[in-house]
Amino acid sequence: MLPGVVQQARWTRWAFVPVGVAAAWALARLATPAAAPPPPATPEPPRAPPLASASALGPVALPPPVFLPSDDAEPRIAATAPMILRFSRPLRAGELTVSVKPAVELRLERPPDGTLRVSGVPRWKMGRRYVLSVEGASVPPQAFRTSVPPPTRVTPGEGQRFVFSFDDAPRRLRQADRLLSLLSALKIKALLFPTGTWVKQRHDWVEQAKAQGHRVCNHSLSHLNLTLPRYTEEQVRREIVEGATDGDCRYFRPPLMAYDARVARLVEEAGLELMLWDVDSRDWEGAPAEDLVHLVLGQARPGAVALFHVHGEHTFEALPLLAERLRAAGYVLSWDPSDATSDAGADAAPLPRERWRRLLQVPLEEPPPDHEAAAREGARELL
């Protein structure tokens, strides 16, 4: 299906959302015909009485949402757009209390047209679902979600790739088998970074992954923070040298993204190449699949390497839709340049290692890595 058709269909359906909201509001008014009393004669108590009604304005003036993976009817707004509530009369200062969950700093505007414009500061987080509550008026909580830009489109057949990579290994061994099944069904060739310790239990998995066209690469032996001062050079070297490999892959991805000059040197001495990522799905945080889809698509660009985790709670759920949308945008979903070549002829570019090298220009000497933060992250990252 062409992405343009998808967008148009989404847009068409979207146009009905404000109508639905308005209809619900009208029904609510019908059910409570006496719900709009005249304002009291005296200003006591100091706070004005609750407003009779309010309706949420859908984002009809905003660009149409794209890449909506679900059929829910929640409004979607751009990260920089305000959520707008229209009231039956102009608002007075301090009349209402507005809160949003998850909590974010808010900017409130009360133009004289009776609307209340609520914006996140500096902006809403992309792809996040929020619930806005208003105290002081009969407004039901308003759930909405922020949209993210669509992935950068590439020209199908020009061999521009988007590389999926999966770190770590789950406690449940079968989870890793499920990943291979899913990647096979979706025809994705991925970079896989299990630990050396895990692979010792699953040589068969490495063989199967390789047979399916994936690369099994080095994520250290036991997933330590290799920048901690307490580890000797020999310990760090062993962690690097005894990491997983399929015999071909020479990429090393440091656990917890923790590397310093010593790690970089030992990686090079081992004949390996540091490999990070361009797009972090943040799937280990447990966000719903829809959020993962939004985050990843919003950052997708030609040659990008995206980070996922085998143990991500909703990762597998997000993969089919990601594959569909990325292919629709023209990407080849493989680490392997020859796959792109078969699409594009002789001129497919190799993996953009130069860019990864530039990524590695971040300070290797100073300042020292934030061990505390890395340790906290490590505590959240399951093995």
Residue 239 contacts Zn ion per CB under 5 A: no
Span near Zn ion by CB under 5 A; candidates 83-91, 183-191, 250-258, 286-294: 250-258
Distance CA 13, CA 298 (A): 22
Q: How many residues interact with Zn ion (rule CB under 5 A)?
A: 3
Based on CB atoms, which residue is closest to Zn ion, 168 or 290? 168
Residue 267: DSSP 8-state: H
Q: Residues of 71-99 as b/e, b for ≥16 C-beta within 10 angstroms?
A: eeebbbbbbebbbbbebeeebeeebbebe
Q: State which of positions 251-280 bind Zn ion (CB under 5 A).
A: 255
Residue 167 contacts Zn ion per CB under 5 A: yes
Whether the bond into 302 is cis, omega within 30 of 0 = no
**What's the closest the beta carbon of residue 102 comes to Zn ion, in angstroms?**
26
Span near Zn ion by CB under 5 A; candidates 19-27, 165-173, 330-338, 369-377: 165-173
Print the binding letters for residues 103-142 with Zn ion: x by CB under 5 A, - otherwise. ----------------------------------------
Residue nearest to Zn ion (CB): 167
Based on CB atoms, which residue is closest to Zn ion, 75 or 255? 255
CA nearest 115: which of 54, 74, 62?
54
CA nearest 257: which of 383, 382, 370?
370
Residues in the chain: 383
**What's the closest the beta carbon of residue 341 comes to Zn ion, in angstroms?**
31
Based on CB atoms, which residue is closest to Zn ion, 309 or 325? 309
Based on CB atoms, which residue is closest to Zn ion, 77 or 310? 310
**Alpha helix segments (H runs only) across 187-249:** 196-201, 203-211, 233-241
The two structure tokens encoding residue 123: 């902006």
**What's the closest the beta carbon of residue 328 comes to Zn ion, in angstroms?**
30
| Chain-centroid distance, C-alpha 26 | 37
Based on CB atoms, which residue is closest to Zn ion, 170 or 255? 255
CA nearest 317: which of 339, 349, 289, 336?
289
Span near Zn ion by CB under 5 A; candidates 75-83, 162-170, 239-247, 353-361: 162-170
Distance CA 209, CA 205 (A): 6
**What's the closest the beta carbon of residue 193 comes to Zn ion, in angstroms?**
7
Residue 168 contacts Zn ion per CB under 5 A: yes
Residue 226: DSSP 8-state: T
**What's the closest the beta carbon of residue 363 comes to Zn ion, in angstroms?**
22
Give the β-pairing of 191-193 and 215-216: parallel
Based on CB atoms, which residue is closest to Zn ion, 169 or 300? 169
Based on CB atoms, which residue is closest to Zn ion, 167 or 283? 167
Inter-residue contact 205 to 183 (CB < 8 Å): no
Give the β-pairing of 129-135 and 142-146: antiparallel
Residue 283: helix, strand or coil by DSSP?
helix
Span near Zn ion by CB under 5 A; candidates 105-113, 121-129, 167-175, 338-346: 167-175
Distance CA 177, CA 201 (A): 13
Inter-residue contact 255 to 218 (CB < 8 Å): no
Span near Zn ion by CB under 5 A; candidates 16-24, 145-153, 166-174, 295-303: 166-174
**What's the closest the beta carbon of residue 223 comes to Zn ion, in angstroms?**
6
Based on CB atoms, which residue is closest to Zn ion, 168 or 291? 168
Which residues are near Zn ion by CB under 5 A?
167-168, 255
